[in-house]
Chains A and B, each alone.
Chain A
C-alpha cells in the first residue's frame, strides 16, 4: 500500500493513476480540499490533513503503508511563509517520523532544483553535491531548502527506510499549476532585457515515471532530474507561442513586489543559468525522459491557448 501526499495536485494525481493502473493500493492525502478529482481516482481513499498535524498520524493508523511518496511540497506564494514552513518543514519531519514508527520501507521525497539557485557563478552542469546557493539571497525559499536538507540527512540516519530525494528542474504539463507553467500559459510574457539563460523542462509524465522508478528501485540518495534538452528561455517562450516583451532588469524588482505571487527567488532563474545534470539518476534507475521539450511546452500551454482563441 502506498501513500501519496499532495493528492490535490496534478503531479500526485498522475502518479496515483500510474500506480492504480498496475494494481497497487493507493491512498492520498492533502492539506487542501481535493476537488475535481479525475474519475479514475474517485474510489481511492483520500484524507484531508495538514502534514504537521495529528490528523496525519491517524492516516498511518488506518492503513499499513509499505511506501510513501511525499510529492506535496507547498511552493505556492499564496500560502504565507509561516504556513509554508509548518507544512514543508514540520510536516516533512512528522511524515518521516511516521515512516519510521510504522515500518515504511520506501520513501520518495520531491524536492526542487530551485534550491541550487540561479547564480551568476553557477557552473554547468550542476550535480547533486554542488552548493545550495538560493538561500543566500532569498529567504522565501528557506522552507524548501530545509525540507531538502532534512530528507537528505534522513537518508543516512534512518537506513531502515530507503529514502530517495528528487530535485527536478522546471516541471511542466497540462495538469501542473506551478509558477513557470502559469507563466508560459500567459499571452504576453516579459523577459529580462539582455538576458536569455539556458533552461531545462521536465514533463509531468516523465517526472511521474521517475517517481515510480525511484519507488521500484533499490538505491537511495539525492538525485537531480533534468529532462531532455537545454534551451534558452526565449526559445521556450517561442515554443509556447507567447508574445514575449523585454523589461529592464531594474524594473523586475518592482514587478516582483507588485505581483506578490511571483516568488522573488525565481527572478534570477530568468537571468542566470541553473543547468543541472541527471546522469546519476539515469544510471541508477535506468530512467530517461520520453517527452521532448517542444512537446512538453506545447502540452502545458494547449488548454490556455485554446481558451484564448
Chain B
C-alpha cells in the first residue's frame, strides 16, 4: 500500500464537496482515489522536477480557465499545474484538466485521469464544469504544443478559439500561465508522423539519444520547472462572434502567455536550478 501524502490529503479534504454519497461526481472524480493519484504525482514528478510556482495568488475564486503553453511530449505540465493548484492555492483548488480525445481509450490511464479530476476535452464538459464554479485547465495548442520538436521550443503553436468562446459564454476569467522547463525534459528532434499514425498516437517523438539509449532516452531529464500564473483576464462580447473578433481576443491571451514564458526564460539561471 502507498502511504497517502498528508499535505495532499489535507488539500483534497478542504475542497468543496461536489460528489454523491458514493464519493463520485458524474465524470468519475473521487476525492478518495484522487489522494492516491496526487500522492503519486507528488512523489514521482513534483520531487523530480522541483517546480518553482509563481503568481498562484492570481487564481480567482470560482469559475476560471487556466490557459498555459503545452510542451514536453508527455502531459507532465498538466500534472504539475494541477498539483500546484491543489497544494499552493489558498484555498486549495481542484483543477479539471481537459484531456486529449486519445486518452479515454487507454486502459488504466483513463481511470487514473478521471479519478484525479480530469475530463474529456469537450466544450459541453467544459461549460458544465465552469457553470459549477470549477477551475478548468485547457491547453489551446493541443497536441501540436506538446509534440513540438526541439527547434520550435517555446514557440507557441496556433491557439484554438474554443476556450475563448466558452469563457465569453460563461463569463469566466482566464488566467494565462507559463510553463518553463517542459521543453527540455523530453527532447524530440523529429515527429515521425507515419509511425504515429501506425500506432494510433497523436505524434511520435524521435529522441536524439534514441540510437544510444533506446527507450531509456525518453526518461525525462530532471529539469526544474518554472510555472507562472498571470493576472486574470476578463473578456466581454458575444461568444458567437465572428472568428476574426474571437481571434483578436485569443491573441491577447497568447501574447500574455508568451510574455510570461519570456520572463521565465530570462529569470532562469540554469536548466536544473
Q: Mark A residues whose CB is within 8 Å of B.
A: 120-125, 192-198, 229-232, 235, 249, 272-273, 275, 293
Q: Mark B residues whose CB is within 8 Å of A.
A: 20-22, 24-28, 101, 104-111, 114, 119-120, 122-125, 128
Are A120 and B21 in contact, CB atoms less than 8 angstroms apart? no
User: Roughly how many angstroms separate A232 CA and B25 CA in the complex, as a whole number?
Assistant: 10
Are B110 and A123 in contact, CB atoms less than 8 angstroms apart? no
Are A194 and B119 in contact, CB atoms less than 8 angstroms apart? no
Which partner residue on chain A sits nearest B101 by CB separation? A121
Are A124 and B26 in contact, CB atoms less than 8 angstroms apart? yes
> Which residues of the partner chain B approach A122 to less than 8 Å between Cβ atoms?
120
Are A293 and B110 in contact, CB atoms less than 8 angstroms apart? no
User: Roughly how many angstroms separate A142 CA and B149 CA in the complex, as a whole number?
Assistant: 46
Q: How far does the Cβ of B238 sit from chain A's closest Cβ, in whole Å? A: 22
Are A195 and B120 in contact, CB atoms less than 8 angstroms apart? no
CB contacts between A and B, total, < 8 Å: 65
Are A230 and B128 in contact, CB atoms less than 8 angstroms apart? no
- Interface-central residue, B22, B105, B109, B128, by most chain A CB under 10 Å: B22
Known contacts A198-B26, A231-B22, A275-B26; A121/B120 CB under 8 A: yes
Known contacts A198-B26, A232-B24, A275-B26; A123/B120 CB under 8 A: yes
> Which residues of the partner chain A approach B106 to less than 8 Å between Cβ atoms?
194
User: Roughly how many angstroms separate A229 CA and B26 CA in the complex, as a whole number?
Assistant: 8
Instruction: Name the contact of A229 in the complex, choosing from B21, B101, B128 (C-beta under 8 A).
Output: B21
Which partner residue on chain B sits nearest A200 by CB separation? B26
Are B22 and A293 in contact, CB atoms less than 8 angstroms apart? yes
> Which residues of the partner chain B approach A249 to less than 8 Å between Cβ atoms?
107
Instruction: Name the contact of A120 in the complex, choosing from B27, B101, B108 (C-beta under 8 A).
Output: B101
Known contacts A194-B111, A195-B110, A230-B20; A125/B101 CB under 8 A: no
> Which residues of the partner chain A approach B110 to less than 8 Å between Cβ atoms?
194-195
User: Roughly how many angstroms separate A195 CA and B114 CA in the complex, as a whole number?
Assistant: 11
Are B26 and A230 in contact, CB atoms less than 8 angstroms apart? yes
Are A124 and B20 in contact, CB atoms less than 8 angstroms apart? no
Are A123 and B122 in contact, CB atoms less than 8 angstroms apart? yes
Which partner residue on chain A sits nearest B22 by CB separation? A231
